[in-house]
Amino acid sequence: MTPPKLCVVGAANLDLISYVPRLPSMGETLHGTRFHMGYGGKGANQAVMASKLGGEVAMVTKLGQDIFGENTLKNFQTWGVDTQHVLFTNQAFSGVAPIAVDQEGHNSIIIVTGANDLLTEAEIEAARLDIAASQILVCQLEIPLEITLTALRVAREEGVTTIFNPAPARPTLPAELYQLSDIFCPNETETELLTGMPVGTQAEATAAARVLLERGAGRVILTLGERGSLLVTDQETLHVPATAVKALDTTGAGDAFVGALAYFLAAGKSTEIAMHRANQIAAISVQAVGTQTSFPNAQDLPESLLA
């Protein structure tokens, strides 16, 4: 069987994770209980997740010529990610993300994008053949908006299905971005910020998702944390519940969902099945510490989940 092919255009950061009794207030200094470094960045996380499940994944990103960048490249190679378009610059440090995680698994994250901001439109164009060879292109908002738009335009020109994850959250997006998104995949916070509408109930979430559809998105898949995920299209609304688990660390759960969703869709699964399985993958990830380290490998999953 030929593995699904995906391309991810986005950021690669080094996560600097501090575990704390609670998240600090403004101006407060807290003693943490332990510290961990891990590989992150939404684009990198989603690429690694899809690769861990068995996808052939090409990553397009830019790193600094520093120890963080060198180790990030090695990490991609360890997980089998195609690094032909993992580029380097001496004009900025690699991206970093200091993260605080409390005892309930809630987190607070600061992103310093660094070299990720220097990815160019010409470098996206140089990756056109890899984008065209993919079933799915995945993008987010951690690199400059115009670069994300360029990648989505290339995918549309090449007939490749696009998944856009509007994270980190921002209040406004250009109309073209919605129109280039075959699947628009926000979480609750991002949906509320983009629409100004609550998503506390399924009815509220559905109404907010319809606003995103009206702006031009092909389909909306809204992630609802422990409530699962919600598909809203012009024809249907489908709520896919999540498996109830005790969360140890929710860092990267959204990326686990998006990477898994992209993989299963690229593998030819229906949207409903892909959502069910992505929910399960995300639930597994929150039961372990870290980001990419919490993502399960295909060989550790039940055969039924990958069949």
Q: Which residue's entry shows tokens 């068995």?
A: 54
Point out which residues pair with 14 in neighbouring strands: 39, 96
Residue whose pair of structure tokens reads 């738009």 in the numeric block: 149
Catalytic residues: 255
Q: Which amino acid is at 143?
A: I
One-letter-per-residue 3-state SS of 139-154: ECCCCCHHHHHHHHHH
Write the burial class of residue 112 (CB in 10 Å: 0-12 exposed, 13-18 middle, 19+ buried): middle
